[in-house]
Amino acid sequence: RTVYVNGDYLPETEARVSIFDRGFLMADGVYEVTSVLGGKLIDFPGHLARLQRSLDELSMKNPLSADDWLEVHRQLVARNDVDEGMVYLQVTRGNPGDRDFAFPPEDTPPTVVLFTQSKSGLADNPVARTGIKVISVPDIRWGRRDIKTVQLLYPSLAKMAAKKAHVDDAWFVEDGFVTEGTSNNVYIVKGGKIVTRNLSNDILHGITRAAVVRFAREAQMEVEERAFTIAEAQAADEAFFTSASAFVLPVVEVDGQAVGAGKPGPVATRLREIYLDEMR
Ligand code: PDD
């Protein structure tokens, strides 16, 4: 694979980052994941806008212009011949040359790393026809989940708890209400109405969420943005989740309890179709 590191396109085996990099030592960095379908970037402007916001919230300068970000993404997709898959980008506060809790001087260059992952079956995903099962786990992440940081240890632990319970993913619960999935935003449907948690510092402002909520409203579906409980999800007609890498996928079981008929529902199925139609 050809990857991008600080201005250079290199074979992945030749890419180097300092052991003092604050991304490595402190998880002091942010990232974005943009899907690729048919060689085309999906909702790229949305991901760039959120990257800017994450950088602003952490007082980091954006190292590249919007045009340059797009060029690097396109180059990597072309050089690696990615038809279906994703582009991962990460910006960290760079290498201060030592370990120190305080930020390095402003002029310390950030570390910019991008790579691609090819993955077939993103659009024609068999999971869209079966759905996934989830368990709930306490949300003990930090209080700024709206910033897309590389601090992903707890979501990884939650994913492992799900695997151990022989299900596919975990939903985080805080103060009795579902916040989001390990790496996705979550929704329930009851009586035709779609319910998804309102935006705040408690969840990542999903780029796919923004598009799906807009498409749902354009299709005259009602969307209510508020928190819901696990019990409410278990009593719902259907449930689903969204993310840049999965688009829209159904959730058919929550904590061992079937949701609705225990199979993908019409709202999730329709929203997946609309999303893929509009974004491709
Ligand atoms: N995850 N919530 C969390 C905690 C996430 O990590 C993600 C994305 C989302 C969905 O956001 P979006 O629709 O912008 O992808 C919500 C990415 C895909 C990942 O970590 O791989």
Of these residues, 40, 61, 148, 159, which one is catalytic? Answer: 148
Ligand 1: which of 36, 178, 243 to mutate, judged by most atoms within 8 Å of the beta carbon? 243
3-state secondary structure 182-207: CCEEEEEEECCEEEECCCCCCCCCCH
Q: Is 114 left (phi over 0), alpha (psi -120 to 50) or beta?
A: beta
Q: How far is the CA of 206 from the centre of ligand 1 (A)?
A: 6
CATH topology classification for 127-279: D-amino Acid Aminotransferase; Chain A, domain 2 (3.20.10)
**Atom number of ligand 1 nearest to Cα 145:** 4
The residues, ordered by sequence, that sit 6+ positions from 189 with a Cβ below 8 Å of its Cβ are: 195, 236, 237, 238, 239, 240, 265, 267, 268
Q: How far is the CA of 106 from the centre of ligand 1 (A)?
A: 29
Consecutive H or E run containing 164: helix 153-164
Domain boundaries in the chain? 2-118, 127-279
pTM of this structure:
0.98
**Tens-digit pLDDT string for the chain (280 aa):** 999 999 999 999 999 999 999 999 999 999 999 999 999 999 999 999 999 999 999 999 999 999 999 999 999 999 999 999 999 999 999 999 999 999 999 999 999 999 999 999 999 999 999 999 999 999 999 999 999 999 999 999 999 999 999 999 999 999 999 999 999 999 999 999 999 999 999 999 999 999 999 999 999 999 999 999 999 999 999 999 999 999 999 999 999 999 999 999 999 999 999 999 999 9
User: Residue 148 catalytic?
Assistant: yes
Decide: 185 in ligand 1 pocket, CB within 6 A. yes
Half-sphere exposure of 95 (CA within 13 A, CB side): 10
Would the CATH topology of 2-118 be identical to that of 127-279? Answer: no
CATH topology classification for 2-118: D-amino Acid Aminotransferase; Chain A, domain 1 (3.30.470)
User: Which one-letter amino acid corresponds to residue 132?
Assistant: I
